[in-house]
Amino acid sequence: MIELDVPTLTGWMYAYIWPLFRISGFVMAAPIFGAQMVPARVKIFISLGLAAILAPVVPHGEPPTGIGFDVWVQAGVQTIIGVIMGFALQMLFQIFVVAGQILSLQMGLGFASVNDPVNGVSIVVLSQFYMMLATLIFLLLNGHLTILQMLANSFIWIPVGQWPQVDTYWLIAQSGTWLFASGLSLSLPGMVALLLVNLCLGVITKAAPQLNIFAIGFAFLLVFGLIIFWASMSDMLWQQENLMLEAFDKIKVYLGAS
């Protein structure tokens, strides 16, 4: 007959609670998993299920002797670590939102906005299309499995009882530069092409002043912008693959793995 004492039960409880807090923070902040269109009940079941899978295999350290202030602090630390991973993954998807915003403003499509069911805000149509395509490619490349594996490895990189490095928060702030630079690099070919279209329209206006450039210019920019946007889709796969690798490397840096 198996006899269970209070210290054993307490150790099992904390071995499950620590992964649960870290996974809950990740699910809350990460895209796809933490999207607003995903019901809260589904998010809770995802967190409980992943915690049940990881609890027996991840190191969880020595359990505390009681429920004191240190326990609440440790719960907050585990949640912050999960939020850091989810936020880093969120920046990956926001790159495509920035690229879509820039292209939309250049081609005169910035007025066309739709509701984003993932984040619950209004974004332009091109950004929404970029987000949907980026999500499909992310799932196609098994990015969700990679990030879950990194979530499990995070208990080795930052074991329970340790804090993230002080430089982690500064590195996260600096990643904003990477976000806007990557979004600009994605939209740069389209910006240059649309600039040439604007120059051509300026030459036409100078050569034939009787033409109403404001009436035909918008249609030209819109049509050529959509053609350029369609042509840029051929490089979308390898561009996102490179960005995904960069995002995963940044997560490792945040957690002190490299």
pLDDT in tens, 44-90: 898 888 888 888 777 766 666 666 677 788 888 888 988 998 888 88
pLDDT at residue 112, as a whole number:
61
Least confident of 47-56, 94-103, 181-190, 221-230: 221-230
- Of 29-38, 139-148, 171-180, minimum mean pLDDT range: 29-38
**pLDDT on residue 58:** 76
**Residues 100, 122: contact at Cβ < 8 Å?**
no
Least reliable range by pLDDT among 29-33, 43-47, 216-220 = 216-220
Q: DSSP for the chain?
A: -----HHHHHHHHHHHHHHHHHHHHHHHHSTTTT-TTS-HHHHHHHHHHHHHHHTTTS---PPPSSSSHHHHHHHHHHHHHHHHHHHHHHHHHHHHHHHHHHHHHHHT-TT-EEEETTTTEEEEHHHHHHHHHHHHHHHHTTHHHHHHHHHHHHHHHS-TT-PPPHHHHHHHHHHHHHHHHHHHHHHHHHHHHHHHHHHHHHHHHHH-TTS-HHHHHHHHHHHHHHHHHHHHGGGHHHHHHHHHHHHHHHHHHHTT--
**What percent of the chain has pLDDT above 90?**
0
Residue 214 has pLDDT above 70, yes or no: no
The pLDDT value recorded for residue 1 is 47
Q: Whole-prediction pTM value? A: 0.81
pLDDT reading at 220 higher than 80? no
pLDDT of residue 218: 72
pLDDT in tens, 163-196: 888 788 888 888 888 988 998 888 888 888 888 8
Question: Region 200-221: what's the mean pLDDT?
Answer: 73
Mean pLDDT of the chain: 80
pLDDT, residue 202, reads 77
Task: Please give the average per-residue pLDDT across 17-29, as a whole number.
Answer: 87
Higher pLDDT, 209 or 40: 40
Residue 14 has pLDDT above 80, yes or no: no
Residue 55 pLDDT: 80
pLDDT > 80? residue 2: no
In this predicted structure, the answer to whether residue 120 has a pLDDT above a threshold of 80 is: no
